[in-house]
Amino acid sequence: MQRAFTLSHERFVLDIDPTRRYIKGSAELTIQPLQKRLSNIRINCRQCKITGVQVNGERVRHSYADPVSELTLGEDTTVAYHNVYKSKYLNALREADEGELLIPIPDSCIKQVKRKQLNY
């Protein structure tokens, strides 16, 4: 899968509590669009609880869907059903290939760069 942007910088801050088996954190990503009009980006972040998203300091509405976390086989299944689960799991991975988190890019955050500034 080809993304419409490149990741040029990333910063993560994590607060880990091993006794409660809890991790809380934030991520700061700097991206460079690969197309003229980038209206949204998708990011992989499986098994996360997203509490907020900002683009250039502006809070934006986001959508998050993790098909893998929704997998179930039912209460009465046994290890004999592992092939069924594996098939469902692989399908869910393909479905989420583009990313579980969809972030819209506000028009106010798009900065046009002149060719002189690109350092070619």
Alpha-helical segments (H) within the chain: 82-95
pTM for the full predicted model: 0.70
Domain boundaries, the chain: 5-106
Amino acid at 57: G
C-alpha distances (whole Å) from 113 to each of 29, 54, 88, 116, 120 are 19, 22, 44, 8, 13
Could you read off the pLDDT of 60-115 as tens digits, one per residue?
A: 999 988 777 777 777 777 777 788 888 888 887 777 666 789 999 998 877 666 66
- Is the C-alpha dihedral spanning 115, 57, 30, 62 positive or negative? negative
pLDDT higher than threshold 60 for residue 29: yes
Could you read off the pLDDT of 37-61 as tens digits, one per residue?
A: 889 998 888 888 899 999 999 999 9
Are the CB atoms for 102 and 50 separated by under 8 Å? no
